[in-house]
Amino acid sequence: MPRTISYSQAINEALTEEMERDERVVLMGEDVGRMGGIFGVTPGIYEKFGADRAIDTPISEMLIVGGAVGMAITGLRPVAELQFADFIFNAADETFSKMSKWRYMHGGQFTVPMVLRLPEGATGGGGAEHSQCPEAALLEHPGSHIVVASNPADAKGLLKAAIRDDNPVAFFEHKGLYAMKGEVPDGDHLVEIGKADIKRQGTDVTIVAWGKMVGLSLKAAEQLQKQGISAEVLDTRGLRPLDTEAIFASIEKTGRLIIAQEAPKSGGGASEIAAIVAEEALDLLEAPIIRVGAMDVPIPQNAMLEALVLPTSADIERAAISMLR
């Protein structure tokens, strides 16, 4: 029977179950062990597995990612956490080059089976360097999967699948979802990486989203229904691999596409998806694509200004109404 648990508990369960299943799985990062993580996601893991498998690291993103790469290519399956997704730029070479490219640069002599956990997103006053959703930064660095979970069931199932994958996986967790509760299946729950999910069926417009924007898209769809507009919400569950077949199938039905992301509108995953649709499925559309995203400014420290900058369900709703007109 499904159980109702939080997003953070789902991640904790995924880590615990995989560490129990495979002794090669280790957790590492700043304060992930004794403290249980600065967001309280990993309590109990240190007590259960000890300091050799729940490793508290120095404050060095280069060490965390580079160390995880070294562990991965020599037989372990590390799950490394950066305290904020923004800090991938502090470990740019290790993330974009070593993690993503080394399997290919060495002719497949080894794999890099590691997961890089990346808490992302704005939650009310974190400021420009602690509030970003930088998933698209990895798009121009092929070799690593880009996974984003929008609910507890996917958080658990996708993380378990990521840990078992022989490819490096950048696993983005929105900080604003940690307290979100939802049903999670019992047993060895896995979710296929690269497989999109229709969260709501619709016939008039397709809303493609991932992460926290899925919930906002569903809220917008509920409001649109009251106005006689049937919106389909498709959760990509990440950006690479991208389930283009699911996107094309949805817009073939609706003829209209809105892409919603929390990141600034320019240069994000929405732009990439829009380009793919324009190149490969333009004939399916009855209206121009609309992207919904944050303003193209650094995320403000002030919580009220932050709210002004970020995309909302009302923005998605207005985009759909404008498109249908």
Collapsing DSSP states into helix, strand and coil, what is residue 206? strand
Q: Is 189 a catalytic residue?
A: no
Residue 58 included in any domain: yes
Domain end position, chosen among 184, 219, 253: 184
Range of the domain at 222: 197-324
Let me know whether 131 and 247 are in one domain. Answer: no
Residue 189 included in any domain: no
Let me know whether 43 and 164 are in one domain. Answer: yes
Q: How many CB atoms lie within 10 A of CB 114?
A: 30
Total domain count for the chain?
2
Residue 191 included in any domain: no
Residue 99 included in any domain: yes
What CATH number is attached to the domain comprising 201?
3.40.50.920
Let me know whether 231 and 167 are in one domain. Answer: no
Q: Per residue of the chain (325 residues), what is the pLDDT tens digit?
A: 789 999 999 999 999 999 999 999 999 999 999 999 999 999 999 999 999 999 999 999 999 999 999 999 999 999 999 999 999 999 999 999 999 999 999 998 999 999 999 999 999 999 999 999 999 999 999 999 999 999 999 999 999 999 999 999 999 999 999 999 999 999 999 999 999 999 999 999 999 999 999 999 999 999 999 999 999 999 999 999 999 999 999 999 999 999 999 999 999 999 999 999 999 999 999 999 999 999 999 999 999 999 999 999 999 999 999 999 8
Choosing from 130, 145, 174, 189, the catalytic residue is 130
Domain end position, chosen among 161, 184, 207: 184
Q: Are 256 and 204 in contact (CB under 8 A)?
A: yes
Q: Are 299 and 306 in contact (CB under 8 A)?
A: yes
Give the CB-side neighbour count of residue 323, counting CA atoms within 13 A: 28
From the list 198, 176, 311, 309, the residue with the least C-alpha distance to 253 is 198
Domain end position, chosen among 153, 184, 215: 184
Let me know whether 217 and 268 are in one domain. Answer: yes
Let me know whether 87 and 163 are in one domain. Answer: yes
What CATH number is attached to the domain comprising 69?
3.40.50.970
